[in-house]
Structure 1
Amino acid sequence: MATFQSLQLDRVALRFGGFKALDDFSLTIKAGEFVSLLGPSGCGKSTALNCLSGLLQISSGTITLDDRRIDVLPPERRGFGMVFQNYALFPHLSVRRNVAFGLEMRKVPKAEVDQRVERALATVRLSNQIDKLPGQLSGGQQQRVAIARAVAIEPPLVLMDEPLSNLDAKLRLELRHEIKRLHHALGLTTIYVTHDQDEALSLSDRIVVMRDGRIQQQGAPETLYNAPGNLYVARFMGYRNASPVRMEGGSALVGEGIGAMRFDGLTLPAGGTAASLAFRPDDVKLANEGIPAEVAQVEYCGQLWLVDLRTADGTHVTMETHERVTMGERVQFRVAPERIRLFTDAFVPEAG
């Protein structure tokens, strides 16, 4: 497997007319890392991947692999492995020929091609499918062929663009485990694009959350999960309940959109007065004394219930609970102050 020390994107920008698809994008990736670019559609994560691969030409900035500038090179000379959302297999070629394609384009000797193809397919556990056509395989098997094709060329870097999006839930989970196993077993360096928080948390050494072509926060999964830097990142990390806040009496914070919940003794974030707060559904607890609410919706999720609570002022609060409740039931809930995250960025309601 080809190796390198670090890949660096320095103030990379991509413009389409007046629109900035990427803006001042700087990121360093060390050899052996699994880095996920996380964000909603249109945030620039796939654009960043395509700039790395050479499928899009950057407008400014530089991309270097160790001391070698690569943004001036065409895609085929960068030598990266690519795994796409739609598999991108040749339907008329066998599994063997699909995996061999990149090696043959590089004019690798036939004996070595055969060895690498067999090794790659054994790694993804598809040796017994080697002579089948892609149309004879399941979606999960086709994506494994795509992964085998990417790693067969022994690239310094593997780029994966939402590779699990077209699979059902069971296959997504299975292939997620497979991707992580291969990353470690083959000593890969992987950049992985996803909009799925669970995928990013389970796979990554580092998560990069993006918005409007810019990096909002990056760090270890535990860091982003437990200490999101702003409300946007918090929402991606599962903080589904959010509210603007105001100071009252100089010592207490009041959540304006959640039944006027009052939180005493909370420390304001550095840099000024908090403008918003957020907490997770599993931080919401039923209580004998708390904020009155009506159960507006209940979803059974196996080990717990996902409950939509509606307060007297019409605010909706999402709760995860192991206690069974019923539609229309009157309950009370509380959220421990230490489970609240406060942010200095202004509260903005989520779209939709």
Structure 2
Amino acid sequence: MKKTFIMIGIIVLILIILGGIGTSYFKPNKNTVLNFIKENPEKTSIKLIRNDTLIIEKNPNKMMPLASAVKIIIAIEYAEQAANGLINPDEAVPLSDLNHYYVPNTDGGAQKNWLIKVKDKIQDEKIAIREIVKGMISFSSNANTEWLCKKLGLQNINDRLDSLGIKNHSEIYYIVSALFVGKEVFPNLKDEELVTALKNLTIDEYRKATFSIHNKMEQDSTYKNDIGERNPNLERIWSDNLPNSTVKEYVEIMHKINSRTYFSKKTHTYLDEIMEFPLDDPSNGQWFDHLGMKGGSTAFVLTKALYATDKEDNTTELSYFINDLNFIQSKRLQMSMNEFEAGILTDEEFREQLKKELLLQN
């Protein structure tokens, strides 16, 4: 009996030690992101501008999947259309229209959390377009994104890339519909045969399929109920095929917003209420006059683009993209992203550390 208690005690002690190690490993720390970027140049890119001065530039022209960071472009298109009277931000949209594109267990709970947040703004099972756009940015709702792409017009959204002067950016398409490409194009294939067939599709064929899928989702509310086969290899194909761009392009976009001179005042009226949701937190309002951001993630990708103007008129534009992550790496980095960004925005010593450790690259 005594030996049994001793063994139980040893096991409990080991579990406590392992728990402590795990807690320490995942503890938020700005250096976690810095060290990953420094040690994994093939997986990362970053660009930082402070008061119009280049601080960091690492792999600035590397094309990488954007994940939900691409929604910034859709938000800009919405703001421009609203400013020009092409869309009514207060138009009420049936929630059922959005629900056509909601695929459970594929958005990390974004849609459910958004609907809880806006429950007081829903009337007769309808909600205003401006709230739909807010949900796309602050909650990263994919269903809202899919609906907005149709409402605003994918061609208009892609044309916006040209008007913004963005050169290195792949075409924006229906990313929820893309979840069904395997089911739609290769209904009789499974496992490795399906993976191989999807890999052999050209990106144009892949995007084309999303258009017909989107139309089916719009017309048939039950289409989404069968997503088809899902596995990590198929998830990777979906992730890799998402719209790509560079940190250089997205820092330029952040600069255009942060300068307050590129877009009209009327456009900023709509854009600021969408992008600057972090200022809803009073603690951020104590530091910043303007603070806007959008991140994105898949099982393999983490992205972030942000801009800020603090109370002393210091301006910051930052973009960093990370790809080829495993589950543990992704979770650990996500835990530390806020600390990393806060350090960049508020800590001069940390900015100097970044500059010193990552070096300045052209």
TM-score in same-fold range (> 0.5)? no
* TMscore range, shorter length: under 0.3
TM-score (normalizing by structure 1): 0.24
Choose 1 or 2 for highest CA Rg: 1
From the two aligned structures, give the one with the greater helix fraction.
2
TM-score (normalizing by structure 2): 0.24
From the two aligned structures, give the one with the greater strand fraction.
1
**Which has the higher relative contact order, 1 or 2, with Cα contacts under 8 A spaced 6 or more apart?**
2
